[in-house]
Amino acid sequence: MDVSTILSKIKAENIQYVDFRIVDLLGRQHHVTVPAYAVDENTFTNGVAFDGSSLTGYKSIEESDMVAMPDPATAFVDPFVTEKTLNIVCNILNPDYTPYARDPRGVALRAEAYLKELGIATAAYFGPEAEFFLFDNVRYASSPSGSFYHIDSEEAYWNTGKEGENLGYKVRNKGGYFPVQPTDTLADIRNEMCTLLTQAGLKVERHHHEVATAGQGEINFRFDTLTRTGDNLLLFKYIVRNVAAKYGKTATFMPKPIMGDNGSGMHVHQSLFNGDTPLFYEKGAYANLSDTALYYIGGILHHAPALVAFTNPSTNSYKRLVPGFEAPVNLVFSKGNRSAAIRIPVAAVTPKAARIEFRTPDSTANPYLAFSAMLMAGLDGIKRKLDPREMGFGPLDKNIYELSEVEKNEIRSLPGSLSEALNALELDHEFLLAGDVFTKDLIESWISHKRGEIQEVERTVNPKEYELYFDL
């Protein structure tokens, strides 16, 4: 959609407001709403002014004036507000209209430009699988007088003995994969989510209940180019959360909201194309993977300890990434093997569908930064011809959890905490600076903010500590 089409749409469809959206460094969306009668061609050339000092990771108060520049290609009608409103994603510019270096969407655009500049490919495609939970009640508090969290779901297995109206059909721990109704109580909600996603322009492929108890679900939408997929993932989260609220539920993309059951990941499918030609396919090779694909894998696995500082950027992320369980912490690749950090899908795959799946990320990631970091790692692998087979990263076509202790010890693992990941990023970030895609300032700001989060968590008294230490 271009500017003239948007302005015509506003008149033809009697749109009352235009909502301009930006994203902060951490990946949270923010918006400012303008009456439709005040939106004209100048809006798309001059942009919308806002205060950058009020957004996490942006400007200080003495240099806070910034510009949100609308991207007309991102426009969609908001289905959740009473007055008809058109939502548009914006890039962030300095007051002199130069791109703001910490704008996450700007990083994604620079990553795509760098890809083309290298001449390796014309497009990188990304397809995330963002899992989520739908809870019926969430309470939490952290104060000097006490800390706790409490969640509940009508599907939760801990409610089998709940008094009052209770019809059974609870989802057992790790027993939630693909049950039909009435055990799956969320099918209608996911259907509505998919309908609205489709109306907003996403191509939904499938949805289903996921493994965990207490309302875990997954909706898959079709891949797209890097920046557009970042846009789509934020739109996806917006629609999932608001449909949940409509039904009196709340959605969370936290990696590990429930102790003792599966967490929520964001497996990310990736491929490179040169025009219409897929670059990851070579018939007859291992998993039909080309050398280009192997080198891309080599780059991701080589840089993975630093990479997860962007793809798994919360302290909660590492409660999901625990060795010995189903979490993809093992730095190996394999075809069809979900216990590896990188899986190569092989079922019903055509040459154009040839891709890799990085299974480690989760949805606390800022999608623009995470996808860009993955692309930069993969491109570094291609440039340096980092063959994962020669680097000890596989392929490993065995169930990793059934290997002997000696065999397991030969497999490298991801960092065990966000602190370790940030340390790795400090030591290994040159690959991100290529083509001025990331800047040292952005990386340093990211590390500083995330270390602040770690301190907050570590200094908070945990209820478990009372259980362990109160009577010592």
CATH number of the structural domain spanning residue 182: 3.30.590.10
The set of residues, in sequence order, having a beta carbon less than 8 Å from that of 245 and lying 6+ positions away, is: none
Provide the pairing of β-strand 266-274 with 123-135: antiparallel
- The per-residue pLDDT for 293 is 97
61 pLDDT higher than 60: no
pTM of the model: 0.95
Q: Is residue 370 part of a domain?
A: yes
User: Is the domain of 394 the same as that of 462?
Assistant: yes
The mean per-residue pLDDT over the stretch 200-207 comes to 96
User: Is the domain of 89 the same as that of 189?
Assistant: no
Residue type for position 133: F
For tokens 């905490």, the residue is: 417
For position 72, which CATH number holds? 3.10.20.70
User: Is the domain of 136 the same as that of 43?
Assistant: no
The set of residues, in sequence order, having a beta carbon less than 8 Å from that of 266 and lying 6+ positions away, is: 128, 129, 130, 131, 253, 361, 362, 363, 365
Q: Is residue 129 part of a domain?
A: yes
81 pLDDT higher than 80: yes
323 pLDDT higher than 90: no
The set of residues, in sequence order, having a beta carbon less than 8 Å from that of 36 and lying 6+ positions away, is: 10, 15, 16, 17, 18, 86
From 105, 228, 241, 267, the catalytic residue: 267
Catalytic residue at 359?
yes
Question: Among residues 167, 165, 243, which one has the least CA distance to residue 198?
Answer: 243
User: Is the domain of 93 the same as that of 131?
Assistant: no
Q: Is residue 206 part of a domain?
A: yes
User: Is the domain of 244 the same as that of 383?
Assistant: yes
443 with 432: CB under 8 angstroms?
Answer: yes
Q: Is residue 95 part of a domain?
A: yes
From 24, 103, 112, 129, the catalytic residue: 129
Catalytic residue at 131?
yes
Radius of gyration of the chain (CA): 23
Q: Which tokens hold the place of 246?
A: 């409509």
Provide the pairing of β-strand 17-23 with 85-93: parallel
Q: Which residues constitute the domain of residue 417?
A: 123-469
Cα angle at 109 between 107 and 113, to 5 degrees? 115
Catalytic residue at 326?
no
**pLDDT (tens digit per residue) in 174-185:** 888 988 999 889
Cα–Cα distance, 193 to 53 (Å, whole number): 34
The mean per-residue pLDDT over the stretch 268-294 comes to 95
pLDDT interval class at 410 (50, 70, 90): confident
Catalytic residue at 129?
yes
From 78, 103, 112, 131, the catalytic residue: 131
Q: Is residue 220 part of a domain?
A: yes
User: Is the domain of 10 the same as that of 89?
Assistant: yes
From 218, 224, 261, 362, the catalytic residue: 218
Q: Is residue 113 part of a domain?
A: no
User: Is the domain of 150 the same as that of 16?
Assistant: no
Catalytic residue at 228?
no
Catalytic residue at 218?
yes
From 2, 40, 51, 63, the catalytic residue: 51
Beta-bridge mates of residue 334: 343
User: Is the domain of 327 the same as that of 414?
Assistant: yes
User: Is the domain of 26 the same as that of 141?
Assistant: no
- The per-residue pLDDT for 56 is 81
User: Is the domain of 355 the same as that of 247?
Assistant: yes
Q: Is the dihedral of CA 20, 24, 26, 30 positive or negative?
A: negative
> What number of other Cβ atoms are within 10 A of residue 398's Cβ?
15
Q: Is residue 212 part of a domain?
A: yes
**pLDDT (tens digit per residue) in 192-202:** 999 999 999 99
pLDDT interval class at 54 (50, 70, 90): confident
Q: How many domains does the chain have?
A: 2
User: Is the domain of 93 the same as that of 143?
Assistant: no
Provide the pairing of β-strand 17-23 with 146-152: unpaired
- The per-residue pLDDT for 337 is 67
Catalytic residue at 357?
yes
User: Is the domain of 173 the same as that of 218?
Assistant: yes
From 105, 355, 359, 429, the catalytic residue: 359
Q: Which CA distances in Å does 154 have to 136, 187, 206, 239?
A: 7, 14, 24, 22
- The per-residue pLDDT for 60 is 62
From 78, 154, 210, 261, the catalytic residue: 210
Catalytic residue at 241?
no
Q: Is residue 18 part of a domain?
A: yes
259 pLDDT higher than 60: yes
Cα–Cα distance, 254 to 262 (Å, whole number): 12
> What number of other Cβ atoms are within 10 A of residue 138's Cβ?
15
From 172, 222, 338, 384, the catalytic residue: 338
pLDDT interval class at 347 (50, 70, 90): confident
pLDDT interval class at 325 (50, 70, 90): low
